[in-house]
């Protein structure tokens, strides 16, 4: 059995952010990531203005993320549309590109990283590996994203009676998509679900959907669901007509939107989606992941394993508002009649979109930025 003082499980934005700061502080650690090559995780692919500030503190400048600037948000429900500017410019980026940048930054900071290592279970302070090995640790940073690890899985009841699935397809770069989407992030609302559309660094359109299992079951399969959505939502249909026949549709099941852990345990730092799952329509999932990684590394550096308890309570407190607001909007948006009524309101009161965009951001306190500045 191997041993490390701090073990980070997962090399996504949360885990890589924590690794960067632990490496800068000279704290012994190990990050394990199950994939041997950086893939393109199912994700909305949106980085808010606040998240860009956090990334800059980690040594990742906005220019490195690509040219896909996002300045406006559009809401669609059927034939109705509303548009408003974002509080500040954001960026659309693929997880493959972002994760690659963060892991490279971690390596250059001196982080210890092993790839192709799958943690199949957590037993107290020991990570049981798929290959039969084990790693014992004092401080576990659980950053496995949407994938649960046996022993620390999120509660099944958080999924609800009609679980939500995440589906994603990519539309290849095309001038027509540039004209349709441009520098906007789009949110297409429909019965029991919604789809976000944003252009990313290579010009492709990332189309990420959250849909209840009952709606998917009525259609039969994802392809038929997309066909029915294109028929009932003409603006969405204009985008989906650019998908290729037989194109792969990525999926993840049973996403517990709205769940967050309330209490902490000594030595266990739950990060990103393993700490709280904000509805993806808010576009703050990656922001929460990165902020939680920064905070956890800082807390551990200052207080060791016992700092996990106040860290988790502090994070839960700061997640309450963004997750609560996003969850309320999600419940309204997924009901066809209410969604259709919301869009004209948003069109006539564009300030409302600005307020919602601000309320669904996690607070990146001055302490986060001071901490990273001191350690850089």
Is the pLDDT confidence value at 361 over 60? yes
Q: What residues does 167 pair with on adjacent strands?
A: 209, 251
Q: Is residue 192 part of a domain?
A: no
Residue range(s) defining the domain that contains residue 7 = 2-40+94-157+259-335+359-375
Interacting residues of 366 by C-beta distance below 8 A, sequence separation 6+ = none
Q: Is residue 241 part of a domain?
A: no
Confidence of residue 354 (pLDDT cuts 50, 70, 90): confident
Confidence of residue 18 (pLDDT cuts 50, 70, 90): very high
Q: Is residue 60 part of a domain?
A: no
CA distance 241 to 226: 10
Residues in the chain, overall count: 376
CA distance 376 to 374: 6
CA distance 49 to 62: 10
Give the pLDDT confidence of 138-193 residue by residue, as tens digits: 999 999 999 999 999 999 999 999 999 999 999 999 999 999 999 999 999 999 99
Is the pLDDT confidence value at 350 over 70? yes
Confidence of residue 370 (pLDDT cuts 50, 70, 90): very low
Q: What residues does 127 pair with on adjacent strands?
A: 122, 135
Interacting residues of 275 by C-beta distance below 8 A, sequence separation 6+ = 260, 261, 288, 292, 312, 315, 316, 319
pLDDT score for 83? 92
pLDDT score for 364? 55
User: What is the gyration radius of the CA atoms in the chain, in angstroms?
Assistant: 20
**Average pLDDT value for the chain:** 93
Q: Is residue 180 part of a domain?
A: no
Interacting residues of 119 by C-beta distance below 8 A, sequence separation 6+ = 9, 32, 34, 127, 128, 129, 130, 144, 149
Confidence of residue 371 (pLDDT cuts 50, 70, 90): very low
pLDDT score for 367? 36
Beta strands in the chain (DSSP E): 2-9, 30-33, 46-47, 69-77, 80-92, 113-115, 119-123, 126-129, 134-142, 164-171, 184-190, 193-199, 205-212, 250-255, 268-270
pLDDT score for 369? 42
If one counts the domains in the chain, the total is 1
Q: Is residue 48 part of a domain?
A: no
Three-state DSSP class for residue 200? coil
Is the pLDDT confidence value at 79 over 90? no
Q: Is residue 177 part of a domain?
A: no
Q: Is residue 190 part of a domain?
A: no
pLDDT score for 121? 98
Measured over the CA atoms of residue 4, residue 270, residue 144 and residue 360, the dihedral's sign is: negative
Question: CA angle, corner 92, sides to 312 and 82, nearest 5?
Answer: 100
- Specify the DSSP class assigned to residue 307: G
Q: What's 113's domain CATH number?
A: 3.50.50.60
CA distance 270 to 295: 11
Nearest in space to 50 (alpha carbons), one of 299, 365, 336: 365
The pLDDT of 230-246, averaged and rounded, is 92
CA distance 217 to 315: 36
DSSP string, 49-107: HHHHHHHHHTT--GGGG-S-EEEEEEEEETTEEEEEEEEEEEEE--HHHHHHHHHHHHH
Q: Is residue 109 part of a domain?
A: yes
Give the pLDDT confidence of 307-330 residue by residue, as tens digits: 999 999 999 999 999 999 999 999
Contact call for residues 115 and 33 (beta carbons, < 8 A): yes
């Amino acid at each position: 059995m191997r041993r490390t003082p701090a073990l980070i499980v997962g090399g996504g934005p949360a885990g890589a952010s924590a690794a960067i700061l632990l490496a800068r502080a000279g704290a012994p650690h190990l990050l394990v990531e199950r994939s041997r090559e950086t893939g393109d995780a199912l994700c909305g692919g949106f980085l808010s203005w606040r998240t860009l500030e956090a990334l800059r503190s980690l040594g990742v400048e906005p220019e490195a993320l690509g040219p896909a600037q996002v300045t406006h948000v559009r809401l669609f429900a059927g034939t109705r549309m509303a548009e408003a500017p974002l509080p500040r410019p954001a960026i659309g980026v693929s997880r493959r590109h972002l994760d690659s940048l963060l892991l490279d930054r971690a390596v250059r900071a001196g982080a210890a990283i092993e790839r192709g290592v799958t943690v199949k279970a957590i037993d107290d302070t020991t990570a049981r590996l798929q290959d039969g090995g084990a790693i014992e640790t004092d401080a576990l940073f659980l950053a496995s994203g949407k994938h649960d690890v046996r022993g620390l899985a999120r509660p099944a009841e958080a999924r609800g009676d009609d679980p939500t699935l995440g589906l994603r397809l990519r539309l290849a770069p095309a001038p027509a998509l540039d004209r349709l989407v441009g520098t906007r992030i789009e949110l297409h609302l429909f019965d029991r679900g919604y789809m976000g559309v944003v252009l990313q660094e290579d010009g492709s359109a990332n189309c990420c959907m959250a849909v209840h299992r009952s709606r998917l079951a009525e259609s039969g399969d994802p392809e038929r669901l997309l066909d029915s959505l294109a028929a009932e939502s003409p603006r969405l249909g204009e985008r989906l007509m650019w998908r290729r026949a037989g194109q792969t549709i990525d999926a993840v099941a049973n996403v517990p939107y709205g769940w967050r852990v309330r209490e902490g345990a000594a030595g266990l730092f739950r990060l990103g989606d393993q700490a709280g799952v904000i509805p993806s329509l808010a576009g703050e999932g990656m922001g929460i992941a990165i902020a939680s990684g920064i905070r956890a590394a800082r807390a551990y550096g200052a207080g060791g394993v016992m700092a996990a308890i106040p860290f988790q309570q502090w994070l839960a407190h700061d997640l309450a508002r963004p997750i609560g607001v996003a969850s309320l909007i999600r419940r309204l948006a997924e009901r066809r009649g209410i969604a259709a009524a919301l869009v004209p309101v948003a069109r006539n009161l564009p300030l409302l979109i600005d307020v919602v965009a601000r309320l669904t951001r996690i607070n990146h306190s001055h302490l986060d930025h001071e901490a990273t500045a001191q350690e850089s």
